[in-house]
Amino acid sequence: MIGGFVLLVGLVVLYKQPDLQISSRGDLISLRTDDGSLWLSSGRSERFVADNWLRRNGQEQGDKKIWPHEGVTDGFPLSCDVYGCRGEIAGRKIAVAFSNRAWQEDCHWANLVISQIPVSDKKCHAPHIIDFFDLWSSGAYAIWLKPNDIAIQTVEGTRGNRPWTQTAANGRKD
């Protein structure tokens, strides 16, 4: 009994929250900064999801931090403009694209491209691409940025293939 409790406490202490989270619709992205706070890509989109992410992170509504629409903001590691945001986090180059122009420019630079619109993988050679269709077929994403790797977990991958969870991805042949 005591051994199980010690193991449980150890797992809780060692668990690392995701560095990035993407909602299933892609309208909301959270980014965890070095101080542990979450920055949200929108203050209006998917408020229920945002509230849950903030609550799970121990942040109150009053502590909500929103990504800048343009430029750089103290404490936020990405630089943004009307086309998207980009920057380096934990040694990984991250790009969030809001337009075709942004993902086309960032595909040759970034280790991870997150796009709210479809991305042509024939034109994008980034090692990790998450676009509109990936979100549609796999659901929400949790991403851990490591110095030499990017770990990605999806709702679809976590829940598995069950008759009551049929999505477009189930018919796909890998």
pLDDT at 4: 59
Domain boundaries, the chain: 18-161
Contact 144, 124 (CB under 8 A): no
Give the other-Cβ count within 10 Å of 107's Cβ: 20
Task: Give the dihedral of Cα atoms 152, 40, 55, 15; nearest 10 deg.
Answer: 30
Reported as a single tens digit per residue, the pLDDT across 76-96 is: 999 999 999 999 999 999 999
Handedness of CA 144, 80, 42, 125 (dihedral sign): negative
Burial 146-158 (b: 16+ CB within 10 A, else e): eeeebebebebee
pLDDT at 16: 83
Query: Which of residues 4 and 40 earns the better pLDDT score?
Result: 40
Residues 6 or more apart in contact with residue 76 via CB below 8 angstroms: 31, 33, 39, 65, 67, 68
Reported as a single tens digit per residue, the pLDDT across 16-73 is: 899 999 999 999 999 999 999 999 999 888 999 999 999 999 988 778 899 998 999 9
Q: Which of 27-31, 54-58, 136-140, 157-161 has the lowest mean pLDDT?
A: 157-161
Q: Is pTM beyond 0.85 here?
A: no
Residue 169 predicted with pLDDT over 50: no
